Chain A
Amino acid sequence: MTERELKIQEKKAAQPGDENTKNEAYFAPHVDIYETDREVAVIADMPGVTVEDVDLSLEDNILTIQGHRTLQKQSGRILLEEYESGHYLRRFTVAETIDQEKIEASLADGVLTVHLPKAVPTQPRKIEVKIG
C-alpha cells in the first residue's frame, strides 16, 4: 500500500475557562490551520458534533471553537473501551485582522471548517498640507 496508515492520535484534554459543575470531559480537537493571502482557515476534527451544537466566537483576537455533544450513556456491558467521548474546546489567538462579518463555517463528517477572511487593509489616508 502506497498510502500512509492512519495512527491513533492521543486525545488531549482541554480545560474550559470555568470549572464545570458537571463532570464532563473536554478534549482539544486536532486541527489544521493554514493561511492564504485572503483568509485564515481552521479545520478541526470534532466527531459526533451536530451543526446546532457548534459554538464559534472571535473576541479580542481569540477564536474559540466549542462543540457540545449529547452523550448518551451506553447500555450494556463494556467489552472494550479504547476511546473516551467528550465535548470539544480549543482556543487560538488570531494575529491577523479578520473581517468578522464574513466568517463562514461548515461541518461535514464530523469535521469543522472555519474560514476567517482577512480584513482588507484600509488605504492610508493622505493628508494634504495646505500652505497657509
Chain B
Amino acid sequence: MAFVRFTDRPGFRNPWAEFERIRQGLDELSRSYAEKSKGSRANVYPALNIYEEADRLLITAELPGVKAADLDLSIEGETLTIQGKRDRRQNEAGASYHRREIESGGFSRAIALPVKVNAEHVVARLSDGILTITLSKASAVTPRQIKVTAE
C-alpha cells in the first residue's frame, strides 16, 4: 500500500476542486453534444428538409444531376424510400481533369414519416435538381375545424 502524505493529497486545499473538475467536464460534454446536433447533419445521401403544415408534409432534397427517370420513390406503411443514381458523365477523349469534386453513384434513403399520410395523394416534383415531395396527411390526423354554435 502506497502512503500518501496528507498534505500532498490533491484537492486538500480546496475540497471543492474535484467537484469543479467534474462540472467542467460535464459542461464540455454537453457543449460538444450541442455542437453536434446543430444542423442535425445526416450521413445518408440525400440530405433532406422536412416541413410540416396543417394538412401536409413537405420533403425537399437537392439532387443535382439526377434525372427523374433515375429516381425511385416508394411508400410502405409509414416509411418513405428515396432511391436513385447519378450517372457519371461520359469522359471526353483526351480530357485531363483539373478538379473532380462531383461524385456519381447510387443512393438509397428510407425515412420514417412522423405522421400518417395518405399514400394515394403523393406528389413528387423534380425541377432544376430539387426534389419536392408533398404528402397529404391522412384524414385521421389532419386538424378538423369544429364549429361552435351559440345557444
Q: Tell me if chain B binds chain A.
A: yes
The A-B contact count (CB < 8 A) is 148
Quick check: is B105 within 8 A (CB to CB) of the other chain? yes
What is the bound-complex CA distance between A84 and B38, given in angstroms?
A: 12
* Residues of B82-118 contacting chain A, CB below 8 A: 85-86, 89, 91-107, 114
Quote the shortest CB–CB distance from A69 to chain B (angstroms).
Answer: 9
| CB < 8 Å neighbour of A77 from B44, B52, B128 | B52
Quote the shortest CB–CB distance from B52 to chain A (angstroms).
Answer: 5
| CB < 8 Å neighbour of B103 from A6, A33, A35, A107 | A6
Quote the shortest CB–CB distance from A116 to chain B (angstroms).
Answer: 12
Quick check: is A82 within 8 A (CB to CB) of the other chain? yes
Whether A109 contacts B92 in the complex (CB less than 8 A), given A4-B103, A82-B48, comes out as no
Whether A109 contacts B43 in the complex (CB less than 8 A), given A30-B101, A48-B129, comes out as no
- Please classify the interface of chain A as helix (H, G, I), strand (E, B), loop, or mixed, using the class held by over half of its residues: loop
Quote the shortest CB–CB distance from A84 to chain B (angstroms).
Answer: 8
Whether A6 contacts B53 in the complex (CB less than 8 A), given A34-B98, A35-B95, A110-B128, comes out as no
What is the bound-complex CA distance between A74 and B94, given in angstroms?
A: 45
B100-A32 in contact (CB<8A): yes
Binding site for A on B (CB under 8 A): 39-54, 57-58, 60-67, 85-86, 89, 91-107, 114, 126, 128-130
Besides the known contacts A5-B45, A75-B53, 16 further A-B residue pairs in the complex with CB atoms under 8 A apart: A4-B105, A4-B106, A8-B44, A9-B101, A31-B101, A32-B100, A33-B97, A45-B102, A46-B129, A47-B129, A74-B49, A75-B51, A78-B52, A79-B50, A79-B52, A81-B49
